[in-house]
Amino acid sequence: MSDVKPISITLVDYQDAQQMSHLIQQLSHYALDDMGGGEDLSAAVKQRLLIDLPQQQQNFSLLAWVGDECVGMTNCLWGYSTFAAQPLVNIHDLGVQKEYRGMGISTALLSAVETHAGSRNACKVTLEVLGNNLIAKASYSKFGFNAYELSVGTGKAEFWQKYL
């Protein structure tokens, strides 16, 4: 008899306090990881998420479960491709707790994002990944993602930011 627990993915209802608690807990795990910045979200940010996320129309989040244990999440943003004249989805955050990595959970999350994106006729799913996050890059590549290049010779797209 096997004690392998099934992986499941659920769409977060931002109006549900329990689901929001799981989402913020998983986001906190991600933030504490070196690839998430290495420090927890402030109490003020966590409180704002409880207030702000339910008001957002362009966001959706998914939780990953192993049995009845919440072990990961992804936060996504709907966008619009002017080149394709279709919606797109950007994966803003994707995290799996360290002790659950290597079990296919990120693949299950990516698959669920792809399915959800397809339900609204999205033309693509985008994400950002740190250059030295080799494990994530290998996982994303295996799933079919690659660095964005418009055409040969134009160079790879870079994600830049400016704090305000």
CATH of the domain at 128: 3.40.630.30
Q: String of b and e for 13-48 (b: at least 16 CB within 10 Å)? A: ebeeeebbebbbebbebbbeeeebeeeebeeeebee
Q: When comparing pLDDT for 1 and 9, which is higher?
A: 9
CA distance 140 to 138: 6
- Residue 159 counted as domain residue: no
Residue 28 lies in a domain: yes
Across residues 71-78, what is the average pLDDT?
98
* Residue-wise pLDDT tens digits, 94-113: 999 999 999 999 999 999 99
Q: What confidence tier does 2 reach under pLDDT thresholds 50, 70, 90?
A: low
Residue 152 lies in a domain: no
| Mean pLDDT of the region 60-78 | 97
With respect to residue 66, please indicate whether it lies within any of the assigned structural domains: yes
38-48 mean pLDDT? 96
Whether pTM > 0.85 for this model: the answer is: yes
Whether residue 4 is predicted with pLDDT greater than 80 in this model: the reply is: no
Closest listed residue to residue 52, CA positions, set 61, 39, 62, 64: 61
- How remote is the C-alpha of 53 from its chain's centroid? 15
pLDDT band per the 50, 70, 90 thresholds, residue 156? confident
Does residue 35 lie in a domain region?
Answer: yes
Which residues, including other chains, have CB under 8 Å from residue 80's CB and lie 6 or more apart?
86, 87, 88
Residue whose structure tokens are 């803003």: 92
Q: Establish if 74 belongs to a structural domain.
A: yes
pLDDT of residue 153: 86
Q: At what angle do helices 17-32 and 43-52 cross, to 10 degrees?
A: 140
Q: Is the residue at 155 inside a domain?
A: no
Residue 49 belongs to some domain of the structure: yes
Q: How far is residue 93 CA from its own chain's centroid?
A: 4
Per the structure, the count of domains in the chain is 1
How far from the centroid of its chain's Cα atoms is residue 95's Cα? 7
Domain encompassing residue 71: 7-143
Per-residue pLDDT at 1 exceeds 90: no
The predicted pLDDT at position 159 comes to 85
Residue 59 in this model has a pLDDT that exceeds 70: yes
